[in-house]
């Protein structure tokens, strides 16, 4: 089974802090994604990566950056946390673009609160 | 801009009944995914629909895709309590960049 592991289930930080959310997958997937989930809005794509050191902006990248130094690890960075970034953050991974019949596999999520 | 709308957003039904969740999307795509999420849990993949007319079934759930109408349905047959969850559809706008619907919270009462 695919395992996508997010480093924290719950996290509380203060406004202005730099926050790191970590995600590791064990299936040698090329693609990795970061989403945030808010009630009534579904999931929205923040950033994604198709390969090591590659990154692409998703639909809501403002206030975030990412890092992918190793294939299995994808980090989401909140440069200066703000209260409107309080949310559930979900990491996902999948095989390369040429395999659309394979769904994205999700981690358990990190519930982040910014005070 | 691709928009994905699910209907209804909340659904309370009795065990044994049938119902359908609808997923409409605004621009052309022939790749659609259905996921299930239990409270406090991650998203679990249910179906991958890759072409017009695709139909997939698993137990009491059946999903279909009509790319011309830009519509997917998730049909629940003879609902049981274990199917209570939030269901999401997600449309691929290219290169596996998914746009999700708002989610349908399904509650099945004995």
CB contact under 8 A, A104 and B103: no
Is residue A110 within 8 Å of residue A89, measured between CB atoms?
yes
Q: Which stretches of chain B drop beneath a pLDDT of 70?
A: none
pLDDT digits (tens, 9 = 90+) for A55-73: 999 999 999 999 999 999 9
CA angle, A102 as apex, A99 and A106 as ends, to 5°? 130
Q: What is the count of residue pairs from A and B with beta carbons less than 8 Å apart?
A: 59
Helix (H) or strand (E) holding A20: strand A19-25
Determine the pLDDT at residue B95. 82
Nearest to A101 among B35, B50, B99 (CB): B50
CB contact under 8 A, A42 and B101: yes
Q: Does residue A37 surpass a pLDDT of 70?
A: yes
Please state, in angstroms and rounded to a whole number, the distance separating the CA atoms of residues A87 and A83: 9
Q: In Å, how far is B109's CA from the nearest CA of chain A?
A: 23
Note which residues in 55-114 of chain A have CB less than 8 A from chain B.
Answer: 58-59, 90, 92, 94, 97, 100-109
pLDDT digits (tens, 9 = 90+) for B36-68: 999 988 999 999 998 888 899 999 999 999 999
Determine the pLDDT at residue A22. 97
pLDDT digits (tens, 9 = 90+) for A75-115: 999 999 999 999 999 999 998 866 667 899 999 999 999 99
Q: Considering only CB atoms, which chain A residues are within 8 Å of B4?
A: 42
Q: Does residue A35 surpass a pLDDT of 80?
A: yes
């Amino acid at each position: 089974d695919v395992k996508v592991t997010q480093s924290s289930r719950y996290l509380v930080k203060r406004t202005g802090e730099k926050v790191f959310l970590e995600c590791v997958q064990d299936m040698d997937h090329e693609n990795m994604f970061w989403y945030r989930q808010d009630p009534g809005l579904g999931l929205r794509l923040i950033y994604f990566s198709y390969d090591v050191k590659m990154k692409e902006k998703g639909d809501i990248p403002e206030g975030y950056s990412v890092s992918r130094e190793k294939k299995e690890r994808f980090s989401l960075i909140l440069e200066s946390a703000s209260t409107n970034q309080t949310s559930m953050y979900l990491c996902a991974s999948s095989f390369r673009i040429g395999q659309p019949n394979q769904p994205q596999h999700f981690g358990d999520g990190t519930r982040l609160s910014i005070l | 801009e691709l928009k994905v709308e699910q209907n209804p957003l909340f659904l309370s039904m009795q065990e044994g009944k049938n119902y359908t969740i609808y997923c409409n999307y605004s621009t052309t795509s022939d790749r659609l995914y259905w996921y299930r999420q239990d409270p406090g849990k991650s998203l679990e993949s249910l179906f991958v629909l890759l072409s017009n007319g695709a139909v997939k079934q698993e137990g009491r759930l059946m999903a279909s895709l009509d790319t011309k109408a830009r519509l997917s349905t998730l049909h629940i047959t003879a609902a049981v309590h274990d199917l209570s969850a939030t269901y999401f559809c997600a449309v691929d706008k290219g290169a596996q960049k998914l746009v999700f619907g708002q989610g349908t919270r399904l509650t099945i009462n004995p």
